[in-house]
A = this chain, B = another copy of it.
Amino acid sequence: MIKRALSVTREDDFAQWYQTVIAEADMAEESGVRGCMVIRPWGYGIWERMQRLLDDRIKAAGHENCYFPLFIPLSYFEKEAEHVEGFAKEMAVVTHHRLIADGKGGLMPDPSAKLEEPLVVRPTSETVIGAAFARWVQSWRDLPVLINQWANVVRWEMRTRMFLRTSEFLWQEGHTAHASETEAREHTLRMLEVYRSFAEEDLGLPVVAGEKPEHERFPGAVATYSIEAMMQDGKALQAGTSHFLGTNFSEAQGIRFQNAEGQLELAQTTSWGVSTRMIGGVIMVHGDDDGLRVPPRIAPHQIVIVPMLRDAPEDAAIVDYCDKLAGVLRGLHAFGEPVRVLFDKRAVKAAPKRWGWVKKGAPIIVEVGGRDVAGGNVSVVRRDRLYREDGKLDSAIVAQADFVADAAEMLVEIQHGLFAEAKARLEANITRGVTDFTGIEAAFAEGNKAPGWVEIAWSRPTGAALDAVVERLKDLKLTMRNAPLDGGPVEGACPLTGEPAVERILIGRSY
């Protein structure tokens, strides 16, 4: 048995392993503020890379970034009943705008500075952005409006888990208004496809894109689509959503335009978002028992150079050799961008430094000792192939020139390898062809540690019939994930209702 860098394995306790990776990789920590975390440099650096890559994709799809207020007056929410119903239970409310001494050596909200109308800290911005759209849109010539914002939002959570569920989180929320339903529906799906390609190509996360069932729709949406990723414990993570909102919000906020025929119409709107939650997905898909493995496209440092110093005279030559190597590597390009290289000069011994980067998941770690300098070599550790078959660390001594020639391609190979590994796991863990409820129960029988998902052909019930199905699945701790867009034709009876099946749907446990 190989000794691993973490104190707990995925097999032992997946939830504990997840927290351990976050702690050992210095990604985030509890802040001391209920439900809020501190995102540390390695975690935030990954988020910055994700932001840059997704922002490029969002802009390429024609959107511009804006910024809207953090605070939303209560009256904005009152206009869209379903929407407020969905969020009222988890809203942080600002009621005062000043503090005064409480007479006991502490502070308290000043009763004389109570707001006339309380303000909600935005849980999402459809209402306040809808109000802006109403100002911006008069004529069909003003449409479409395609905007996006990067912001923090707050949804008060009682049980929190780092990255996956925190009271405050960071996200982007796109909002668009269109002249026709067809165009708005197409845009909803276009952005879902942007999320799919971002997840798969940039994060190496294979996902299933599909439509959420009626009861899982965003509050106020006509249709909600998601990308769902499978974690290594078989559970699903909803990693991004795209909503067709119809005229629900334009009616509430008054987004009306004169069409080409001179008649007044309501605009058709969409919204879509991806959050820091996705970092949790990266951890649970790519992590292993030695920590995180960061896909090179989103790694803050793709290659980390660790000098093996010994407080000896030869140290100067090693540092000089590493400096030059870093310079050469920075001149390379991978994925159309300059390679990101860190020469880690911290006053920390080489072994803990190497293992620190293993746990953080830097894609390539290059070690340089006196012998490497003498021989013009480097010792290369690939995070995706950490051990040899005999269980020893796989550190390959190669000529510096050879490594430099191969480094960019190696990064691409690691990116593709991580995706392929996760894709194979996803495929292997979707059980298809289940036609009765017993089959569902069997797939999720106790003792099955990573049961994955079951795909069935269902009848897409609504109302009370849907409620009954949701309850029956809930007893097995199961939820419907989404109806895959590329589900293909179906036949036979729905194992949940007995009615004729109309589409495929994925069922699983979830985060």
Contacts and interface: CB of A to CB of B under 8 A. Distances in A.
A17 interface: no
A107 B92 contact: no
Interface in A85-104: 88-100
Contacts of A121: 70, 94, 121
A2 to B, nearest CB: 30
Contact of A78 (B36, B106, B135): B106
Interface stretch (A38-46, A179-187, A463-471): A38-46
17 contacts: A31-B128, A31-B131, A32-B128, A33-B72, A33-B73, A33-B128, A36-B69, A37-B69, A77-B107, A78-B105, A78-B106, A84-B99, A91-B97, A91-B99, A92-B97, A95-B96, A99-B120
Interface of A: 29, 31-33, 36-41, 44-45, 47-48, 64-75, 77-78, 84, 88-100, 105-109, 118-121, 128, 131-132, 135, 141, 147, 151-152, 154, 156, 167-168, 170, 347
Contacts of A108: 74, 118
Contacts of A70: 36, 121, 152, 154, 168
Contact of A152 (B73, B75, B152): B152
B98 A89 contact: yes
Nearest to A96: B93
A73 B34 CA distance: 9
B91 A92 contact: no
Contacts of A77: 99, 107
Given A93-B94, A121-B94, A38 B99 contact: no
A68 B141 CA distance: 42
B94 A98 contact: no
B147 A41 contact: yes
Given A40-B66, A119-B33, A147-B41, A88 B95 contact: no
Contacts of A92: 71, 94, 96-97, 119
Contact of A93 (B47, B66, B97, B135): B97
* Most chain B Cβ neighbours within 10 Å, of A40, A73, A92, A121: A92
B90 A98 contact: yes
**8 pairs of A and B residues whose beta carbons are closest in the complex:** A36-B69, A41-B64, A39-B67, A97-B156, A88-B99, A93-B96, A33-B69, A93-B109
Contacts of A94: 92-95, 121
Contacts of A118: 96, 108-109
A interface secondary structure, majority: mixed
B68 A31 contact: yes
Contacts of A33: 69, 71-73, 119, 128
B74 A45 contact: no
Contacts of A41: 64-66, 147
Contacts of A119: 33, 92
Contacts of A84: 99, 107
Contacts of A44: 64-67
Given A67-B170, A92-B94, A132 B99 contact: no
Contacts of A71: 33, 36, 92, 154, 167-168
A168 B70 CA distance: 7
Nearest to A147: B41
Nearest to A77: B107
A226 to B, nearest CB: 25
Given A95-B95, A98-B88, A131 B32 contact: yes
Contact of A64 (B45, B105, B120): B45
A31, A105, A167 pick with most chain B CB within 10 angstroms: A31
A478 B41 CA distance: 43
Contacts of A156: 97-98
A301 to B, nearest CB: 11
Nearest to A68: B38
Nearest to A276: B67
A89 B113 CA distance: 9
A135 B67 contact: no
A98 B123 CA distance: 12
A38 B67 contact: yes
A88 B107 contact: yes
Contacts of A68: 31, 38
Contacts of A98: 88-91, 93, 156
Contacts of A99: 74, 77, 84, 88-89, 91, 93, 120
A330 to B, nearest CB: 14
A64 B119 CA distance: 33
A45 B91 CA distance: 30
